[in-house]
Amino acid sequence: MTINVNPYLQFRDTARAAMEFYADVFGGEATVSTFGDFGLAQDPADADKVMHSQLVIDGRAWLMASDTPASMSLPEASSVAVSLFGGSEDAEVLRAQWAKLIDGGHIVEDLVAAPWGDHFGMVTDRFGTFWMVNIGADPQ
């Protein structure tokens, strides 16, 4: 059996736009099912909201998201951070992803050389998701 731990992001009304953005950042195409698709919209205003969306990244990681219906509470802020870690061989891809994540976002800590030898940065993207990016140093 294979068990995966994957981020599941919650939004109020922006899950579709967020997942389209993440598909641009990471590649691939997000699948989307709405509350209306399954007849689960208790409020007609929720029918077109995202009940479940997922983006498969490089065939090995899943980023999932949904909109929280108006009838349910959604915390204003989350303590969840999504981390992107790779080695020096992944630097070009990770830097390109960083550049897209910071577009319209807020850099918490710039992507710079860290005390442990890697390059590390933190950003809250335009949808409020907190990301940590770590690019491993070249082996000594």
Q: What is the 3-state secondary structure (H, E, C) of the chain?
A: CCCCCCCEEEECCCHHHHHHHHHHHHCCCCEEEECHHHCCCCCHHHCCCEEEEEEEECCCEEEEEEECCCCCCCCCCCCCEEEEEECHHHHHHHHHHHHHHHCCCEEEEEEEECCCCCEEEEEECCCCCEEEEEECCCCC
Architecture per CATH, domain 81-135, reads as Roll (3.10)
Work out the average pLDDT over 80-92. Answer: 93
- pTM of the predicted model as reported, rounded to 2 decimal places: 0.91
- Same-fold call for 8-67 versus 81-135: yes
pLDDT of residue 21: 98
Domain borders along the chain are 8-67, 81-135
| Percent of all residues in the chain with a pLDDT value above 90, rounded to a whole number | 77
pLDDT category of residue 1 using cuts at 50, 70 and 90: low
pLDDT in tens, 48-62: 999 999 999 988 899
Domain 8-67 classified CATH 3.10.180.10? yes
